[in-house]
Structure 1
């Protein structure tokens, strides 16, 4: 694999000065942050500035070739601004967006990703509830909104970073499942009803001490689309953690139920305004596709053992060929 080029910190410092965010390039301190698979991500400090800067990569840092349009950084900035207006405090503030750089508010030092807590076996239902309610509010507020549909109609980045490396790759590697997987893809294309984050997963949720604050980050594949995608991604990752840490499976299941209950509560609040009904069968198919993608797609889950990958594969296949009655019933198949 050819490594993606490292961010030119000198060019970044000069950019910040040109945008009025720093007085001199010599004042700018840059520190690389973890998680830069699809982006260069750095923390930047200068007098009066404490921020995170992102620059989208054209080739992702994974073993297989995976290309994507760097222009998605503009989508992310616009989506963050919209999400912040609709649910104040649930995303970092956008400080600047220009010339391929996104500058956003940096989370306080004690904050961490929800993925860290989950991998440690801690699954706070309060975080899950907040996450579900935030998603429900975003979905309800943007349901059938013509301006949002027009502003986020481009699904190029979503196709390059989600549908192709996840759904289509899995369909090629499991040809006997091509039917339900392509049905999932076709339903996504046909059912475009609200703003979709596109990576609504624990690694993109930052939580404060005692879960008193919560941010949803990484909106680079945001688009107007299928409302089942985001909840499937959240619940699917709770299933993955259940396979990884079976002793904590009941806690992850409780978090999934709290997340879906919070989502449903906000969606029901919006029924008078049209609401955002979820297709239960599509939700289950999406989750099955995710499970398979995290073992047989282009971005396998790094924490699963060989035995865990086998269990995930069997669970995902079962969700597509023999769906459970409800999404949370899937946990019964882990016992």
Structure 2
């Protein structure tokens, strides 16, 4: 009886690990899904496996007369499992199975937090669950919640932790990227030319609002590198990702062709500017480690490991935007 169970147990255990891995990658935006969702899905899978196994075992238990001992053992095992989980004897993350976190010093110039450039350190994780234990060990003035939303252009942190304490050092205003409107013509078709300067950054991400812009062209030193040919979009944004070499250019010319009869470009109702999606969103990255980020990294718990995708920010990021009613 035990041979079939032992042979198949390894497969189901490995499949459980695969489900956990898929659950981590499923959440593109940290905190976009409820923290309990992955646990519920995993619990359902384990319950299905156990029920199917019991179908095979119960007939044997009934014939052998070991019904009482097996039922008692199952209940004891269930209680012990709950005790181990709630007591934290077996932690969810260890140095071998670390929790992936992202720590970045952000300089925000979009006006979300205040009119002047504002800086803070963002801590987030793509793994399910809250960051309560991590913040208790790090301290440094972090506060967490779903109201700490940060738009990193390529993704948004829907649940994370922010601290504004001691974040004014380690960055310069001269590194803030600029989006300057050079011209804006209203003839048969509205055309806007924007000059982009990423300053020291050679790794940057630009999102163009395709609800307002139907096409665009991109030039570097008068050389057209992105022609006007119709662009696709995801969730109303067309995202340009650039990662250049050592001597990569940092100044670009962007020509925007507006959608005809745009409903938003003439809407200049006072007090409604913040409700509108911006026309352009820009994020520039630098590898600089500010004093605040260095302190946070030194205090990271041993079960945390820095992790970043190809679109994740570096340790210092600048956020800028151009509103529709510029």
Scaled to the shorter chain, the TM-score interval is under 0.3
Larger Cα-atom Rg: 2
Given the two structures, how large is their TM-score scaled by the length of structure 1?
0.22
User: Which structure shows the higher helix fraction?
Assistant: 1
Structure possessing the higher relative contact order (Cα contacts under 8 Å, 6 or more residues apart): 2
